[in-house]
Structure 1
Amino acid sequence: MASVNTNAAAITALRTLQQTNTALDKTQNKISTGYKIGEAKDNAAYWSISTTLKSDNKALSTVKDALGLGASTVDTAYQGLNKAKDVLDEIKSKLTAATQDGVDKTKIQTEIGELQKQLVSIASSSVFSGENWLSVDSSANGYNAAKGVVSSFTRLNNGTVNIGTINIDTSNIALFDSNTQKQGILDGGKSGNADAGTIVSATSSAKVNAAAEAAVKTTAADFSNTTLLDGKTVSFDLTVDNRPTQRIEVAATTANRASATTWAAAVQSAVNAKFGSGVLSVVATKADGTVDGTATNNVRLTFTSATSGATSRIVTANYATTDTTNTSEFGGLSTAINDVGADATYKAANAVMTSAFSTAVTLDADDTIAFSMTVDGGSSKVVTISKALVDSTLGAGDGKINNATQMKSVLTAALSQAGITGVSVGVGDGAVLDQDGNAIASNKLYFANSSSTATSKVTIGDLSVSKGTNITTLDITGKTATQISQYIQSVNTALNRVTTAAATLGSVASRIDMQKSFVDTLMDTIDKGVGNLVDADMSEESTKLQALQVKQQLGVQALSIANQASQNILSLFRS
């Protein structure tokens, strides 16, 4: 049907042309930008994934830069160690020449002096981006021997992000350390306890060990339960572990004087009423100290403090009784107090060496560990542990102490060498307590004094750990061939430590290089993955473009033909 109101063919052609133009615009946009997904409206899920991956790839780019910075820092220290090794080789060569008879040691020392200065120069100038690992001051605020190089950026399934690092322990790499308590590889010979692990965690004097028995006070020398009159009282002043003194009063009854045990219970009840339970125990004992709950004569009441250690004490004084008839019986308590004395005695006194020994300790030929020891107020003696002593005691010949048991053997030999008697060395087994009442751990050592009086103690102090020789102050002028040979050994030891340090840094540098290569590959892989998600296939889009352009031309022609139909209708009305 022909109509002048509605041109169906034109409408259809127009709609088709509009759809073609829309598709053509999208294709042209993909070709011009290179992306098939350029905005969230194109594909929200893929756009979100690609945006996150692009962001992560930027972080990986920063990781790559950090690895480059870390590699340069490590390489700077590595090169410094290599050069220091070369200089040490030269010093060892000069020292070897100096052992020859007739050489001018002064001139050789002049050459060595210049080489020593070069070692200092190498260490001080091995700096990259403000980092110097060869010349340090471990006592400075904020110093940390643990270094880290950012090496990875990882996004987990739950969306959290992890930053990985390659960790480097530089504690055994420094050639020089300004800290007077520690030493680097080349400035040994300084004293201090910071070079640690060795044997002791504290340089202060050890205290009397709390393994000492609690304060014990024996009271009645002769107790007869038959004569003390009912209703009469026995009273005395009692001080326990420096608590306020309390007046203890016990009234005799037929029941509580039936036996030594019942009388001890009556006294215990009176003590508890003033001090509380658990502070002091009261038991009936024979003269030999064994408990006797049935005897009625020659029985003693023994007071024992629940507190152990040097501060534990019991004092009894000012005995009195209201039984004026039988003072010679239980009244013997008064004499017993005076005989025993005012303060409690201690049956044992161990001094502890609270050891930090938990890992193997190796002493080189020029290493020493020393501390002073005073026993029972006597003269102080120096106890020294050397590689020679370790080797002669353990027989291995490597200067290595592998565990606390071996350290016990070495310390025992060191005490004997120092002429100290009456003191034994023990390894904590959980049963022996330290001065704070805590069990001494199995990796800690303690000293036990054979003396067992209240004044017995072993005092430890002046700990020093000397590691190696200061290579930069070594002087052969006037030294014998034997002494120079010892210097050669010291330099050789330093060489070994420098070689080990360089090997450590070399391993780290190799790992950093591998990680850099991996990060490069990972970034490329992520780029490819993002491209697969959002990049347009240009061959495909160009083909679509050509097809859509032809379709657009056809659409225009179809619309033109449809519009001409109305002109044909008009021609029917012409006269």
Structure 2
Amino acid sequence: MADLTLSSAVRANLNTLQSTAEMMSSVQNKLATGKKVNSALDNPNSFFTASGLTSRANDLSNLLDDMGQSVQTLKSADQGISSITKLVESAKAKANQALQTQSQYERKQFASQYNELLTQIEDLAKDAGYKGKNLLAGDGNDLTTIFNEDSTSKLKIDAVDYTDTSLSTGLNLSDLAEGQGSATSFQLQGGKVTLSLTDGTSALNSSSTLSESNSISATTTLQFVDNTATTPAALSGTSITAGATVQDLVDGLNSVAGVRAEFDDASGELTIYSDEDIYLNDTGATVGAVLTIDGDNAEVDAAAFTATSQLLSDSGSFAVGDTLTLTDGNGYELGSLEVESDTSVDDLENFINDFKGVTAEFNTSSGKLNITSETDLALTSDNADFASSGFVADTDGVTLSALSDSGFASDNSINRVVDRLNTALSSLRTQASEFGTNLSIVENRQDFTKKMINTLEEGAGKLTLADTNEEGANLLALQTRQSLASTSLSFAAQADQNVLRLF
């Protein structure tokens, strides 16, 4: 093409068209990509500066995702603390309920419910994790949130351990002893004899002297003899002279523990009840010689009860009108039973079985009433002879000591638990506040990072993005220039074509 010769006018117009086409191509590329700098060739300084800004924005965008996950982890922990706080408040309510009753059995139940709440607290703490990170599970669960691309700005959030409520660094709440019951038994036994005191023709009364009886001489001195021993022995302090009254005899018998005497003035009948074998004899008679009154031996052969239908009043330990009281170790009265003339062993057994945590079972073979209780227990009577043994009164009644008491057995124990619960609640609120502060920091940095990313992308855009309005105007101007250049080239070519007219 070097051999071709163009006129200067044609060549000038051709160069203009080529230049305009290149500029139009550049403008069209800017409009198509939206960028005025698409490569380092367009503007090295702007291109590399924008690339740096974009790279930093991308790094921050990745960190922004991590911040979002940190926010969710903190929210999960905060929800866990809120729920744990409610459970601790429920545990405190149980302790306060225990304070409102003196019943050891009810307190034992509250202690059991308290322990179940602690178990639920531990389970809830274990379930408070998010994506394998649990801020309530202690070691290995600390959360670190990075805020900038070179990791020089970050926040470390220490985990706490609520999965074990007994930890002193956590809630410091230990399970309570729920208590372990025990058992005891006491013998139900007795016998009676009825004697007629007469002067041969009529019955004696309470004020009659014993010597008026046709069976007791004026020289007789009565004594009460323990017939349970191998060698019967007189019971001390029980000698009654014949000059004494019938009432003196009755009083003397009643002074012996486990022995009860009743005298009927109308019939002259003396009934003697005893828990142990006992008889009356003359101090001058040989050992073992039982006094005979109107043909009946003044002797009681006591035996263990063998049926639940037997009456309690057939024993020297019970009398009509006695009140039996069942209490626990705190002195809390479970209930009382008044002995009536028809009150049987079965009634006593049912009375004890009426109360929760206590069971009674009568053994017809041994005559023992077996009692099992989940707490300390005492069965007492206003009768001093109740549960006597060997002519010795048992002033404490029938008592049972549990193998171990519950953690709520005493007011002091409950108050100590309440104090610990208050401390745990304070600790939970402090920890919730700390997590709340951390959450606020992370959310604040999250918002800041979003704005920073926008700023970086905006700055990169100012260096590389094209003004479409301007480039559109440029394209229109270039199209006009191209059209004019084409027309001008046509005019220049026409001047060269005039030579053809010569042929």
- Give the TM-score taking structure 2 as reference length: 0.50
Q: Secondary structure at the match of 1:152?
A: coil
Q: Does structure 2 retain, via aligned residues, the 8 Å contact 1:175–1:185?
A: no
Provide the rounded CA distance (Å) in 1 between the counterparts of 2:408 and 2:172: 26
Q: Does structure 1 retain, via aligned residues, the 8 Å contact 2:142–2:157?
A: yes
The residue type equivalent to 1:114 in the other structure is E
Match of 2:161 among 145, 154, 174: 174
Counterpart in the other structure of 2:130: 128
Counterpart in the other structure of 1:552: 482
Counterpart in the other structure of 1:539: 469
Q: Does structure 1 retain, via aligned residues, the 8 Å contact 2:407–2:414?
A: no
Q: Does structure 1 retain, via aligned residues, the 8 Å contact 2:121–2:163?
A: no
Matched, 1:33 2:41: no
The residue type equivalent to 2:409 in the other structure is K
Matched, 1:150 2:146: yes
Provide the rounded CA distance (Å) in 1 between the counterparts of 2:66 and 2:13: 62
Q: Does structure 2 retain, via aligned residues, the 8 Å contact 1:185–1:498?
A: no
Q: Secondary structure at the match of 2:16?
A: helix
Q: 1:37 to 1:5 in 2, by over 3 A?
A: closer
Q: Does structure 2 retain, via aligned residues, the 8 Å contact 1:176–1:184?
A: no
Provide the rounded CA distance (Å) in 1 between the counterparts of 2:34 and 2:27: 10
Q: Secondary structure at the match of 2:39?
A: coil
Counterpart in the other structure of 2:66: 66
Matched, 1:110 2:40: no
How far apart are residue 565 of structure 1 and its match? 1.2
Matched, 1:90 2:90: yes
Match of 1:502 among 417, 424, 432: 432
Q: 1:100 to 1:179 in 2, by over 3 A?
A: closer
How far apart are residue 476 of structure 1 and its match? 4.6
Q: Secondary structure at the match of 1:89?
A: helix
How far apart are residue 110 of structure 1 and its match? 3.5
Q: 1:99 to 1:497 in 2, by over 3 A?
A: same
CA RMSD after TM alignment: 2.6
Match runs of 1:318-397 below 5 Å = none
Provide the rounded CA distance (Å) in 1 between the counterparts of 2:165 and 2:428: 18
- Give the TM-score taking structure 1 as reference length: 0.44
How far apart are residue 18 of structure 1 and its match? 0.9
Provide the rounded CA distance (Å) in 2 between the counterparts of 1:181 and 1:476: 22
Q: Which blocks of at least 5 consecutive residues in structure 1 are unaligned?
A: 137-142, 154-160, 190-474
Provide the rounded CA distance (Å) in 2 between the counterparts of 1:43 and 1:514: 37
Q: 1:145 to 1:5 in 2, by over 3 A?
A: closer
The residue type equivalent to 1:135 in the other structure is A
Provide the rounded CA distance (Å) in 1 between the counterparts of 2:141 and 2:18: 71
Give identity over the alignment, percent. Answer: 27
Q: Secondary structure at the match of 1:149?
A: strand
Q: Which blocks of at least 5 consecutive residues in structure 2 are unaligned?
A: 177-404
Q: Decide which structure has the larger Cα Rg and report it.
A: 2
The residue type equivalent to 1:129 in the other structure is K
How far apart are residue 15 of structure 1 and its match? 0.7
The residue type equivalent to 2:153 in the other structure is G
How far apart are residue 491 of structure 1 and its match? 0.9
Matched, 1:530 2:460: yes
Say which is worse superposed, 46-55 or 177-186, in terms of deviation: 177-186
Q: Does structure 1 retain, via aligned residues, the 8 Å contact 2:172–2:420?
A: no
State the Cα deviation string for residues 140-171 of structure 1 (Å, max 9, x = none): xxx55753112222xxxxxxx4442112123x
Provide the rounded CA distance (Å) in 1 between the counterparts of 2:100 and 2:5: 125
Matched, 1:484 2:471: no
State the Cα deviation string for residues 375-399 of structure 1 (Å, max 9, x = none): xxxxxxxxxxxxxxxxxxxxxxxxx
Provide the rounded CA distance (Å) in 2 between the counterparts of 1:49 and 1:9: 44
How far apart are residue 30 of structure 1 and its match? 0.5
How far apart are residue 135 of structure 1 and its match? 2.6
Provide the rounded CA distance (Å) in 2 between the counterparts of 1:178 and 1:184: 5
Q: Does structure 1 retain, via aligned residues, the 8 Å contact 2:171–2:424?
A: no
State the Cα deviation string for residues 358-389 of structure 1 (Å, max 9, x = none): xxxxxxxxxxxxxxxxxxxxxxxxxxxxxxxx
Q: Secondary structure at the match of 1:498?
A: helix
Q: 1:145 to 1:485 in 2, by over 3 A?
A: same
Q: 1:162 to 1:133 in 2, by over 3 A?
A: closer
Q: Does structure 2 retain, via aligned residues, the 8 Å contact 1:176–1:187?
A: no
Aligned length: 270
Q: 1:103 to 1:503 in 2, by over 3 A?
A: farther
Q: Secondary structure at the match of 1:39?
A: coil
Q: 1:510 to 1:180 in 2, by over 3 A?
A: closer
Q: Does structure 2 retain, via aligned residues, the 8 Å contact 1:176–1:185?
A: no
Counterpart in the other structure of 2:21: 21
Provide the rounded CA distance (Å) in 2 between the counterparts of 1:82 and 1:537: 54
Q: Secondary structure at the match of 2:148?
A: strand
Q: Secondary structure at the match of 1:167?
A: strand
The residue type equivalent to 2:95 in the other structure is L
How far apart are residue 526 of structure 1 and its match? 1.2
Q: Secondary structure at the match of 2:153?
A: strand
Q: Secondary structure at the match of 1:66?
A: helix
Say which is worse superposed, 74-83 or 529-538, in terms of deviation: 74-83
Q: Secondary structure at the match of 1:128?
A: coil
Q: Secondary structure at the match of 1:554?
A: helix
Provide the rounded CA distance (Å) in 1 between the counterparts of 2:122 and 2:165: 12
Provide the rounded CA distance (Å) in 1 between the counterparts of 2:68 and 2:18: 56
Provide the rounded CA distance (Å) in 1 between the counterparts of 2:6 and 2:100: 123
How far apart are residue 12 of structure 1 and its match? 0.6
